Amino acid sequence: MALLDRFRLDDKVAIVTGASSGLGVNFAEGLAEAGADVVICARRADRLEATKERVEAHGRRCIAVEADVSKPEDCELVLERAVSELGHVDVLVNNAGIGTAVPATREDPDEFRKVIDINLNGTYWMSQAFARSVDGDRGGAIVNIGSVLGSTTAGLPQAAYASSKAAIIGLTRDLAQQWTGR
């Protein structure tokens, strides 16, 4: 067996959040290239069509869902669509995220909350919905996208972003402990 064959995702269904731009587009396309059907979601629904076309160019099925991961009901909707249209879910890539670069003495509480709501809470709500939807016999995998700013600083004023990414490290560690061997 060739090395890359060990990473094939044939007959798997993957979900990628924040798939309207940046890394999310690349994650979705890479998963399709590895053989997975892909469910993509983002707040900017108008930008999901281009990602969908890239996934489908690899001969894979793709479902695009407008969703705001900071809303638990949107996360549930993404999982419901995935299971109803593709039969099951196997992989979740929690990629959705935003950042700010505002000095801490001037950052508006709503700006700070928005970053935490999308980056941290969205990761949690999607993980929770995913864990409830995974077929116990098939198992599943969650990939949470962190940042070096969760462990160190770049000297930029990014308190909300750095806090959210540090919290994702702790969240990932705890969920892995809770759900290992489920």
- Specify the CATH number for the domain of residue 87: 3.40.50.720
Q: For residue 181, what pLDDT is reported?
A: 62
Count of domains observed in the chain? 1
pLDDT, mean of each 10-residue run, the chain (182 residues): 85 97 98 98 96 98 98 98 97 96 93 97 98 87 86 82 95 94 58
- CA dihedral defined by 42, 164, 94, 153, rounded to 10 degrees? 110
Q: For residue 118, what pLDDT is reported?
A: 98
Domain that holds residue 43: 3-179
161 catalytically annotated: yes
**22 dihedral zone (left: phi>0; alpha: psi -120 to 50; beta):** left
Q: Which two tokens stand for residue 87?
A: 């039969």
Q: Which residue among 31, 161, 162, 165 is the active-site one?
A: 161
Q: For residue 153, what pLDDT is reported?
A: 77
Q: For residue 21, what pLDDT is reported?
A: 97
Q: pTM higher than 0.85 for the full model?
A: yes
Rounded CA-CA distance 65/89 in Å is 15
